[in-house]
């Protein structure tokens, strides 16, 4: 999200960002994961951003999703109601993290949240920040009871974990990062969640389409090339530890959107100098990937 110096939404830049991604051919969009600072926004900002996002994505051919990060079922449902009232029916949720949920509590969370919106579809954002990672066997139990849980986002999984997800709960649409997407494609249809898509749209689409087409050899060759490029572009920030949004805002800026780098308090972003170092590598080595 683009914030001004008073930490208010830069609405024009946000609209420009969405339109830019649409022009690049991206048709599946979401707001308020970790990179989108879903953990940091207050309700007032949440309502404003949801309204703008709806206005920009209501056109045919775009699937738009709203994420909610909260510390309780009540927190999550409250914000889901706001997004639902704006017209959204696709939602991303993660487990409350203040206290680690046990198996019974996890099932109750999905039952109470997904059950409150039976005409909506849910993706579970499975990440260690929630302090409990769900495995394939746990998803199997949940899916058998919760029919409108339809997808997962697993960008930190292993090869073995990816295989288990694809084999145990194949009816879920699994979104993997660049590292595990090719492995998932060996076992059926899955999806790619790419943090670097805005910065490297041409190569990202080529990578994704190779997976969709089952061109496995090409897919793994592209993966090696892609990950090597990303590592090189990120060399100036190697070893840093920031919130996800600090990284993603740089990649959006490098895509051509005038994205401010600042994060909502108390989190630190990267400096313009660091951004310029990454830009230099991108333009000198991978300019043809940015088209």
Confidence band, pLDDT 50/70/90 cuts, at residue 173: very high
Q: Which residues contact 209 (CB under 8 A, 6 or more apart)?
A: none
Query: What is residue 108's predicted lDDT score, i.e. its pLDDT?
Result: 98
**Residue 289's pLDDT band (cuts 50, 70, 90):** confident
Does the CA dihedral 31-34-38-40 come out positive or negative?
negative
Tell me which H or E stretch contains 150: strand 149-154
pLDDT at 188: 96
Domain 11-290 in CATH 2.60.120.620: no
Angstrom distances, CA of residue 37 to CA of 31, 228, 256: 9, 27, 21
Task: Return the pLDDT at 291.
Answer: 72
Task: Give tens-digit pLDDT for 190-211.
Answer: 999 998 998 999 999 999 999 9
* Domain boundaries defined on the chain: 11-290
Structure tokens that stand for 120 in this block: 């909506």
The sheet carrying 63-68 orders its strands as 28-31, 63-68, 90-93, 121-125, 149-154, 173-176, 191-192
How far is CA 138 from its chain centroid? 22
Percentage above 70 pLDDT, the chain: 100
Report d(CA 3, CA 102) in Å as an integer: 37
246-258: pLDDT as tens digits: 999 999 999 999 9
| pLDDT, mean over the chain | 95
Strands 63-68 and 28-31: parallel
Encode pLDDT of 72-107 as tens digits: 999 999 999 999 999 999 999 999 989 999 999 999
Both tokens of 178, joined, read 């660049």
Average of per-residue pLDDT across 278-285? 96
Contact 244, 38 (CB under 8 A): no
d(CA 154, CA 116): 24
Q: Other C-beta atoms within 10 Å of 131: how many? A: 13
d(CA 56, CA 106): 34
- pLDDT tens per residue across span 177-186: 999 999 999 9
Average pLDDT, stretch 260-289?
96
**263 pLDDT above the threshold of 80:** yes
* 163 — pLDDT class (breaks 50, 70, 90): very high
Backbone phi, then psi, for 146, in 5-degree steps?
Answer: -110, 95
Q: What is the pLDDT at residue 169?
A: 98
Distances (CA, A) of 240 to 80, 161, 202, 234, 236: 33, 26, 27, 10, 9
Alpha helices in 116-169 (DSSP H): 136-145, 159-168
What CA–CA distance (Å, rounded) separates 256 from 199?
A: 8
E-assigned strand segments in 4-120: 28-31, 63-68, 90-93
**Could you tell me the pTM of the whole model?**
0.94
Does residue 290 have a pLDDT over 90?
Answer: no
The pLDDT assigned to 59 comes to: 85
Grade residue 226 by pLDDT with cuts at 50, 70 and 90. Answer: very high
Per-residue pLDDT tens for 126-160? 988 888 999 999 999 999 999 999 999 999 889 99
Measured CA to CA, the distance from residue 157 to residue 117 in angstroms comes to 28
């Amino acid at each position: 999200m683009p914030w001004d110096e008073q930490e208010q939404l830069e609405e024009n830049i946000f609209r420009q960002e969405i339109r830019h991604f649409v022009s690049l051919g991206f048709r599946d969009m979401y707001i308020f994961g970790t990179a989108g600072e879903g953990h940091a926004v207050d309700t007032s900002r949440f309502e404003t951003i949801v309204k703008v996002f709806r206005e920009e994505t209501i056109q045919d051919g775009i699937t738009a999703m709203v994420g909610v990060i909260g510390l309780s079922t009540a927190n999550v449902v409250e914000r889901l109601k706001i997004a639902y009232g704006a017209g959204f029916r696709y939602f991303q949720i993660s487990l409350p993290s203040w206290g680690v949920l046990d198996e019974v509590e996890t099932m109750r969370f999905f039952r109470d949240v997904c059950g409150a919106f039976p005409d909506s579809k849910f993706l579970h954002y499975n990440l260690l920040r929630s302090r409990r990672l769900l495995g394939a066997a746990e998803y199997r139990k949940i899916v058998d009871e919760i029919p409108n849980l339809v997808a997962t986002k697993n960008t930190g999984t292993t090869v073995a974990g990816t295989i288990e997800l694809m084999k145990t709960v194949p009816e879920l649409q699994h979104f993997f990062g660049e590292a595990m997407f090719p492995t998932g494609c060996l076992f059926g249809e899955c999806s790619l969640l790419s943090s670097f898509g805005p910065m490297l749209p041409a190569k990202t689409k080529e990578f994704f389409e190779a997976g969709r087409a089952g061109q496995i050899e090409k897919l793994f060759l592209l993966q090696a090339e892609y990950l090597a490029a990303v590592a090189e572009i990120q060399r100036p920030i190697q070893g840093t530890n920031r919130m996800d949004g600090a990284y993603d805002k740089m990649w959006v800026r490098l895509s051509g959107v005038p994205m401010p780098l600042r994060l909502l308090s108390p989190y630190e972003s990267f400096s313009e100098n660091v951004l310029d170092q990454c830009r230099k590598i991108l333009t000198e080595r991978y300019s043809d990937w940015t088209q």
